[in-house]
Amino acid sequence: MSARLADLIYRFRLPLCAIIAIGFLGLLPLTNITSIDNDISMWISRDDPIYRTYERFREEFGGQRTLMIALKSERLFTPEGLAFVRQITDDIQRVNPVERVYSLSTANIVTSLPVRLKPDTTSSVRLKPDTTRLTPDTTDSARLKPDPSNGDSDDEGGIEVQPLLDKVIDEQAASRVRNRVLSDPLLRGDVVSSDGLVTALVVTFDENKIDDVRGEVIDRIHGLVDPRLPEGMKAFYNGSIEISETYNRVTKSNLLMLTPPILLLTIGALFWMFRSWRLTLVVMAAVVVSFVWTMGLYVLMGFSYNVLASMMPPLIMILAIADDVHIVQHFTEELRANGSKEHAFKSSVQHLFAPLLGASATTALGLASLATSHVVAVRSFGIGAGVGVMVDFMMSLVLVPTLWLSRRAASTLLGADITTLSPGATGPALRGRFDIARAPVAHPRPVGRAPGATARRGAGGARGASVRAGGSGHDRGVGGVARLRRPAQR
């Protein structure tokens, strides 16, 4: 089966590579690893009863995803400090899709009014005639009732609500605000810390819109607050919205900072193994194609790029390099031993199909087992990574040997690499494998030495023997098999 599959892949290698290239170009726009989605739906499925309950609660009572801004200063309760709180509160309130900002500027003071009871009826009570029930013959005996305008009725008291900050804030007003806040149990410990050094601004959003513009809104609020902080005042940010955006910023920062050195280390390791820039570029090209296919299919399957999905690029790169190195090593060995590009292609596919399929399939099944998780991000990562492993297996089996079939690469491998390179120039990963095999390929000349001479040459053993293509360190035997020669005995 492997032989027939190898023949089939070799026959249709160019159309298959064309399909791979077209898919690469089509999926490349979908490979956006800088747009990270950490919405709550990434962790809880929208079909989950818990999520539906959350949505119903949010529609009835408002969302719970807020941004908290803490301002710390020893001069908080000064005209300048309170004016700054009022200014940024008004500015943030105008940012779309902010719904409300709760701060010292919007806080109210609630004062209870005392209860007033009506006077005692046993004492003198001023009455007034009830003219609504007078008759012509009963004028002197008119019924009387208490006069409410004279305070004869009960006053049950009430509450008085007024803004905390006055329109004009001076030193006296600032001191009065501080005393009110620290003496009010509804504000102390909630809007202002008990020591009066920290105040909080709580920003709520329209949760139907915030996820689409979350990064822009957070950056805009930072731009409104940070550059305008008074001297000695510090700003701190917290809340679910800020935490989600911080995850995004850290992920992007790690991506930008770690990707270049990782690529350089990978390229350096490949060159150290192969000692060939062409082989290194072939492997890296196949890795990039596999990566784009994997991430593009991940998006086409309806998944969003999130914190867990950010682990897929290095995972796919590691597995792709492992497959490609096996293919390149076997292909190079067969090409040097046989000299036929077609044979090297078919032999590589035939011999490596089963082991690579087994390794890739078991890895993909292990990753796909994460699909049983109830966490959406974990489930999507398992499915996407499993699909990526199998995509890389198919890409590597077709693309790597086809890229290595170019005339220039093959001629280089069969020419300079064989006839002029020393054994150490092949690289540590391939060193010692081709030193014997490449000699008969480079110099397949029949040798007419007598068996006795050959026996005398080898009588001393193989200690100190060396084999070098094109040099004088070997003898050519029947059938092109190199014979080791020992230095002459002294």
| Distance separating alpha carbons of residues 127 and 124, to the nearest angstrom | 9
Tokens of 214: 């979350």
CA distances from 385 to 251, 365, 370 (A): 18, 10, 10
Provide the CB-side half-sphere exposure for 293 (13 A, CA).
26
Asked whether the whole model's pTM tops 0.75, one would answer: no
Residue 16 has a pLDDT of 93
Provide the CB-side half-sphere exposure for 55 (13 A, CA).
12
Per-position pLDDT tens, the chain of length 490: 788 899 999 999 999 999 999 999 999 998 877 777 777 777 787 788 888 888 888 777 777 788 999 999 999 999 999 999 999 999 999 998 898 999 999 998 877 777 766 555 554 444 444 444 444 444 343 344 444 454 555 556 677 788 888 888 889 999 999 998 998 888 888 899 999 999 999 999 988 888 788 889 999 999 999 999 999 999 999 988 888 888 888 888 888 888 888 889 989 998 998 888 888 888 999 999 999 999 999 999 988 888 788 888 888 888 899 899 889 888 888 888 888 888 989 999 999 999 999 999 999 999 999 999 888 889 999 999 999 999 999 989 999 889 877 645 444 444 444 333 333 444 444 444 434 334 333 344 443 343 444 333 333 443 333 333 333 333 333 333 333 333 333 3
| Distance separating alpha carbons of residues 198 and 208, to the nearest angstrom | 31
CA 479 to mean position of chain CA atoms: 59
- Domains recognised in the chain with CATH numbers: 2-37+256-414 (1.20.1640.10), 66-110+156-238 (3.30.70.1320), 435-490 (no CATH)
| Distance separating alpha carbons of residues 158 and 114, to the nearest angstrom | 7
Contact 142, 134 (CB under 8 A): yes
| Distance separating alpha carbons of residues 309 and 159, to the nearest angstrom | 55
In the block, which residue shows the tokens 């819109």? 209
Residue 366 has a pLDDT of 94
Residue 403 has a pLDDT of 87
Which is it for the CA torsion 477, 480, 483, 485, positive or negative?
A: positive
| Distance separating alpha carbons of residues 70 and 53, to the nearest angstrom | 31
Residue 160 has a pLDDT of 78
Which residues, listed in sequence order, are joined to residue 110 by a DSSP beta bridge?
Answer: 161
Tokens of 82: 């309170």
Provide the CB-side half-sphere exposure for 333 (13 A, CA).
16
| Distance separating alpha carbons of residues 352 and 122, to the nearest angstrom | 112
| Distance separating alpha carbons of residues 225 and 203, to the nearest angstrom | 13
Burial class (CB in 10 A: 0-12, 13-18, 19+), 412: middle
CA 485 to mean position of chain CA atoms: 60
Contact 76, 197 (CB under 8 A): yes
Contact 322, 308 (CB under 8 A): no
| Distance separating alpha carbons of residues 84 and 34, to the nearest angstrom | 35
Three-state SS sequence of the chain: CHHHHHHHHHHCHHHHHHHHHHHHHHHHHHCCCCCCCCCHHHCCCCCCHHHHHHHHHHHHHCCCCEEEEEEECCCCCCHHHHHHHHHHHHHHHCCCCEEEEECCCCCEEEEEECCECCCCCCCCCCEEECHHHCCCCCCCCCCEEECHHHCCCCECCEEEEEECCCCCCCHHHHHHHHHHHHHCCCCECCCECCCCCEEEEEEEECCCCHHHCHHHHHHHHHHHHHHHCCCCCEEEEECHHHHHHHHHHHHHHHHHHHHHHHHHHHHHHHHHHHCCHHHHHHHHHHHHHHHHHHHHHHHHCCCCCCCCHHHHHHHHHHHHHHHHHHHHHHHHHHHHHHCCHHHHHHHHHHHHHHHHHHHHHHHHHHHHHHHHCCCHHHHHHHHHHHHHHHHHHHHHHHHHHHHCCCHHHHHHHHCHHHHCCCHHHHCCCCCCCCCCCHHHHHCCCCCCCCHHHHHHHHCCCCCCCCCCCCCCCEEECHHHCEEECCCCCC
Q: How many CB atoms lie within 10 A of CB 250?
A: 13
488's CB contacts (< 8 A; 6+ apart) are none
